[in-house]
Amino acid sequence: MFSGSWTIMTSKLAVYSLIVVTAVFTNAQAKPAATLIVTNAAIYTVDKQRPKAEAVAVIGDRIVAVGSKAEIDSWRGPETKVIDARGKLVLPGFDDAHVHFIQGGAQLDQVDLTDASTPREFAKRIAAQLSKTPKGAWVVGGRWDETKWPDPQLPTKGFVDPISGDTPVFVERYDGHEALANSAAMKLAGVNAKTPDVPGGVIMRDASGNPTGIFKDAAQELIYKAIPPMSHEQRLRIARRAAEHAASLGVTSVHHMNPEFADVAAYSELAERGELTTRIYAAPMETDWKKQADVGIRHAWGSSFLRLGAVKGYADGSLGSRTAYMFEAFADDPGNRGLLSDEMHPPSALRDRLMQADAAGLQLRVHAIGDRAISMMLDIFADIEKEHGYRDQRFSIEHAQHMAQKDFDRFAKLHVIASMQPYHAIDDGRWAEKRLGHERARYSYAWRSFLDHGVTLAFGTDWPVAPLDPMLGLYAAVTRATLDGKNAVGWIPEEKITLAEAVDAYTMGSAFAEFQEREKGSITPGKLADVVILSDNIFQLKLEAIRNVKVQTTIVGGAVVYERATSQ
Ligand SMILES: [Zn+2]
């Protein structure tokens, strides 16, 4: 007994002297105590210097130490909040590189037509929404997908008119490139048989020239401009809803593509009040580049919760609506090679604006889906780099969906980031070959090819085009198993990537795409304390089970912003 306590005493002494020695050599003052410790965890840090750890210590909003349980325990003080992860997997918070955050937040309370599997169900859900819509308000949102119906025909105003009366309805297709208006909406917008088409858009018409209710791409604006703008209060409420949703899914940062300036104003107010729990990088439309440049905003300007300084552009449409701009005609629509966006009429107009935005120090992020649109964007980026020189501008192509094989080298050489959404591959992969044919589909969602060419991948969702849940994205990236169950070993399996690569793209890759790789993206001392605890260790699961994994706890800047109600 005596010898036993003696042993304990010596080992304690040894520990004390170790601490004293370390303290003397590293800092003359005593080490401050952590405000938060997450311990007993299986941490995957996404930091190549130290990929694995058991615990992390946080002071305020920053990580101060990452290490073994014993190492981190030395940061514990009387006030330290300690979270026992009970052996669960801890990752850096997910950074979604492409969302439409306010549209997503708004959609949480809008009619959801995503999984309406028949026109009858489509009408039924709109009827339910109409019953809770106040007089004078619009029914919007929807995100329907007619390819899921037994007879996949585009809907018409006739689906909605019998139930909607005077209430205007304008519900969009899930990809946002087509939308359906009822007669009341068209009346309010002053659209009728005489309304001409607009550049970059199509008004679908019946045999006698009357609009059917479907508006494609730029033509959607004819109806949208009749919808009263959201109030500031509505926007604040929606931003909070969106942030709550993000926290519940472990998403701690987002890049909001083409927000309205009023959206940014709502974020700004929430950030100032300390109420923002999602870090936002806002990239307003490139057509407004001067508004940012005039006040000297450059890339990634702002605070840790809200940054500006990127511009978002559009080169073309989408594959679903056959408006992606292609070198060859669509396999299922001979003669149609897609559409350039209206901002690309002519392409030199977009080029000139981007040239000026780059000169002003703004980051350029441009939507391009078809192989020809991507190629044209690379031409434009090459022109800009030639004129202004390379200075780590981090151009990005958003989506970069269907690549011409010849363009991978150029993509890499110009240091362009591929900002991609893996979920689209398992969703659109159900029918993409119908549009493209087997051969041309080969370099679709080509993550493996991008990585092998040394291109940085930044992952996201395009929420609300796809669900915001990162687990679905990781699942898609490693399985490429389409949602219809028809590609069990993966659609174009050559383009699968590993789980570690997918996690990397969803954390460090996205952080790099917003110039924040020194601030976040990995669990590293000095970085922002944005971490998530997952219900299961995705590295130990069968790949198909990854999509069912839940987030247990989400921490942003050292504060717990989400905790799952029932822990098991
Ligand atoms: Zn988008």
CA of 419 to the centre of ligand 1 (A): 10
Adjacent-strand bridge partners of 179: 172, 215
Distance 308 CA to ligand 1 centre (A): 17
Ligand 1 centroid, distance to 462 Cα (angstroms): 5
Helix or strand holding residue 379 (H, E): helix 371-388
CB-based contact 67:43 (threshold 8 Å): no
320 CA from centroid of ligand 1 (Å) = 14
- Beta-carbon contacts of 207 under 8 Å, excluding residues fewer than 6 positions away, are none
User: Contact, 388 vs 414, CB < 8 A?
Assistant: no
Helix (H) or strand (E) holding 372: helix 371-388
Look at the block and give the residue holding tokens 């991609």. Answer: 420
Ligand 1 midpoint to CA 387 (Å):
29
Each of the 568 residues of the chain gets a pLDDT tens digit; together they read 333 333 333 344 444 444 444 433 444 467 899 999 999 999 999 999 999 999 999 999 999 999 999 999 999 999 999 999 999 999 999 999 999 999 999 989 899 998 899 999 999 999 999 998 888 889 998 999 999 999 999 999 999 999 999 999 999 998 888 999 999 999 999 999 999 999 999 999 999 999 999 999 999 999 999 999 889 999 999 999 999 999 999 999 999 999 999 999 999 999 999 999 999 999 999 999 999 999 999 999 999 999 999 999 999 999 988 999 999 999 999 999 999 999 999 999 999 999 999 999 999 999 999 999 999 999 999 999 999 999 999 999 999 999 999 999 999 999 999 999 999 999 999 999 999 999 999 999 999 999 999 999 999 999 998 999 999 999 999 999 999 999 989 999 999 999 999 999 999 999 999 999 999 999 999 999 999 999 999 999 999 999 999 999 999 999 999 999 875 4
**Euclidean distance between CA atoms 522 and 517, whole angstroms:** 8
Distance 368 CA to ligand 1 centre (A): 10
Which residues in 174-250 belong to E strands, given as ranges? 178-181, 201-205, 211-217
Cα 535 to averaged position of ligand 1 atoms, centre (Å): 29
**pTM of the full structure:** 0.85
In angstroms, what is the span from residue 41 Cα to ligand 1's centroid?
35
Closest among 102, 414, 105, 393 to 264, alpha carbons compared: 102
> Any residues with CB less than 8 A from the CB of 389 and at least 6 apart, and which?
none
- Cis peptide bond prior to 346, omega within 30° of 0: yes
**Residue 98 Cα, ligand 1 centroid: separation in angstroms?**
6
Which residues are found with C-beta within 5 Å of the ion, ligand 1? 257, 462
CA nearest neighbour of 503 among 388, 384, 422, 389: 422
Length of the chain: 568
Number of H helices and E strands in the chain, helices first, is: 19, 26
Distance CA 171, CA 145 (A): 11
Distance between Cα 150 and ligand 1 center (Å): 28
Answer whether 435's CB lies under 8 Å from 492's CB. no
533 C-alpha vs ligand 1 centroid, how far in Å? 28
Going from the Cα of 105 to the center of ligand 1, the distance in angstroms, rounded, reads 14
Q: How far apart are CA 395 and CA 380, in angstroms?
A: 11
